[in-house]
Amino acid sequence: MPCFDCLTFDNGYSQLPASFYSRVMPQALDNPRLVSVNPKVAHLLDLDSDDRDDMLAVTSGQRVPAGADPLAMAYAGHQFGIYVPHLGDGRALLLGEVRNVHGERWDLHLKGSGHTPYSRQGDGRAVLRSSIREYLACEAMHGLGIPTTRALCLVDSDTPVQRESLETAAAIIRVAPSHVRFGSFEYFYYRHKHVELRQLAEFVITAHFPALAGRDDRYSLFYREVIKRTAEMIARWQAVGFCHGVMNTDNMSILGLTLDYGPFGFMEAFDAGHVCNHSDVQRRYAFNQQPDIGYWNCACLGQALLPLLGDDVDLIKEMLGHYPDDFSSAYSSLMRQKAGLMTQEKSDSFLFDNLLTLMQKNGTDYTLFFRRLCDFEPCRENAPLKVLFKDQDALTQWCQIYSNRLKLEQEKADTRQMTMKKVNPKYVLRNYMVQIAIDKAVEGDYSEIDHLLALVQKPFAEWPEYEHYAELPPNWGDVLEVSCSS
Ligand code: AMP
Ligand code: MG
């Protein structure tokens, strides 16, 4: 039996009323090639990753698995601050929901599957370069311990797609417990469809927040939990230096997962105001804006939930009021871990503020700095750290303060170093690394994709064969531009 037909489909979303989605069949890609299968995600689904024929057939849209019920989900969203009522899956389909042997439910989401009623002017396709980026990025985030959608496999094809130039279409199967977004709730709220709004909330709560099901205060507790998860997810982004690039409310997962990888980027030379999306001319989604945008997006969600909360604006405000603390306690705890501080001191925030200011002035590579900090030795030269700074005297001063701070810690130096290497990655998925994989793939050589997949899934480990990826990025990486074009 083909491997996808062995899955246990338990499609809940397609049981919701017709206004939640449109049933659509995938449109097959021309001459598809299987680029990569992610065995870890196949394992999550109890899927046989060796059945490459079926992986190819399903991902390329040639075959719909028995038990699947493909549909394009309807949603709306605030895009760059402006409400857009008609979005929805314009180039993706929820193939169905499966349950694995542990009873966990997973959405199978095929991205790049062709036209849907929500495609607007789009062609319903995803180009190879953006599919490679998403395929690798979500696994990189998972490897870093950041909640995210996952990716099962990637297919390339000869189907032509026009972007700035002519490219080819690809597809990935994305996997997550749910693909419901903030914008899914906004869709019904702004249409004054309060019955459907309630049905959506009940669906999400029953499936994903079962402890709240049936409680009188379930909607407010649900909102509170989404706020918490969102703040904690963004704290993790900030601590690792991840810039999402398009934090529209239609790209905000109701489960607090990093969702929809477009022009994302990992921080290289530290710049708090870094904008990774070349199309974001107003700098709305700059790195240092992400925490506030998370708050703004949660406020949008709160507005959409008002009808379920008796239009109690004060309750929404009270719940939102937790966001800043949720964010800063998660962020400061992550930053302390990065610096090997097990205890908490009032002055710690100054230590980090000073450090980031120093890194900004010196264009210090964010990932390299923290990885090298793991080997920091008080009262020593610490040359590998120093070379990352133009103003080495300023760093020496900071190191002095850091050394004094470390004296307040109980931990032995080698234990601290070991713990720090578990939270400060040696590897992040830098744009130039993905670009190498993309350039090769365009030439028909897909090998670097699997190399990078393995690498980013274990970013804290030592990989002697990939030592070059743990160095400063090459200069040509600086001029790479990524935009909304995908
Ligand atoms: P994104 O910027 O990828 O989050 O997409 C925003 C909206 O545009 C979503 O509704 C997408 O489904 C839709 N979209 C993006 N690209 C395409 C495309 N090539 N064809 C059809 N719809 C698209
Ligand atoms: Mg999107």
Q: Which atom of ligand 1 is nearest to the CA of 116?
A: 21
Residue that the structure tokens 């604006």 belong to:
313
Judged by DSSP in three states, 445 sits in coil
Q: Whose CA is nearest to atom 2 of ligand 1?
A: 484
Q: Which atom of ligand 1 is nearest to the CA of 161?
A: 19
* 250 alpha carbon – ligand 2 mean position (Å): 6
Ligand 1 cavity residues, CB under 6 Å: 87-91, 118-119, 122-125, 246, 251, 260, 262, 484
Q: Whose CA is nearest to atom 13 of ligand 1?
A: 90
Ligand nearest to the CA of 79: 1
Ligand nearest to the CA of 253: 2
- Mutational test site, ligand 1, from 91, 149, 248, max ligand atoms within 8 Å of CB: 91
Q: Which atom of ligand 1 is nearest to the CA of 126?
A: 19
What is the C-alpha to C-alpha distance for residues 96 and 71, in angstroms, rounded to an integer?
A: 8
138 closest CA partner among 249, 56, 251: 251
What is the per-residue pLDDT for 345? 97
Residues with a known catalytic role: 250
What is the C-alpha to C-alpha distance for residues 295 and 290, in angstroms, rounded to an integer?
A: 9
* 251 alpha carbon – ligand 2 mean position (Å): 5
* 363 alpha carbon – ligand 2 mean position (Å): 31
What is the C-alpha to C-alpha distance for residues 236 and 428, in angstroms, rounded to an integer?
A: 14
DSSP 397-466: HHHHHHHHHHTT--S-HHHHHHHHHTTS-S----HHHHHHHHHHHHTT--HHHHHHHHHHHSTTS--GGG
Q: Whose CA is nearest to atom 16 of ligand 1?
A: 122
CA distances from 70 to 22, 27, 48, 142, 466 (A): 9, 11, 21, 26, 40
* pTM beyond 0.85: yes
What is the C-alpha to C-alpha distance for residues 377 and 319, in angstroms, rounded to an integer?
A: 44
Ligand nearest to the CA of 187: 1
* 35 alpha carbon – ligand 2 mean position (Å): 23
The DSSP 8-state label assigned to residue 241 in this structure reads T
Q: Which atom of ligand 1 is nearest to the CA of 251?
A: 4
Q: Which atom of ligand 1 is nearest to the CA of 124?
A: 20
* 484 alpha carbon – ligand 2 mean position (Å): 10
Q: Which atom of ligand 1 is nearest to the CA of 248?
A: 4
Ligand nearest to the CA of 162: 1
What is the per-residue pLDDT for 476? 87
* 407 alpha carbon – ligand 2 mean position (Å): 47
* 252 alpha carbon – ligand 1 mean position (Å): 14
- Mutational test site, ligand 1, from 24, 111, 118, 249, max ligand atoms within 8 Å of CB: 118
- Mutational test site, ligand 1, from 21, 27, 75, 87, max ligand atoms within 8 Å of CB: 87
List the chain residues with pLDDT less than 50.
Answer: none
List, for residues 312-341, the tens digit of each pLDDT value: 999 999 999 999 999 999 999 999 999 999
What is the per-residue pLDDT for 425? 98
For the chain, what percent of residues have pLDDT higher than 90? 97
Q: Whose CA is nearest to atom 23 of ligand 1?
A: 90
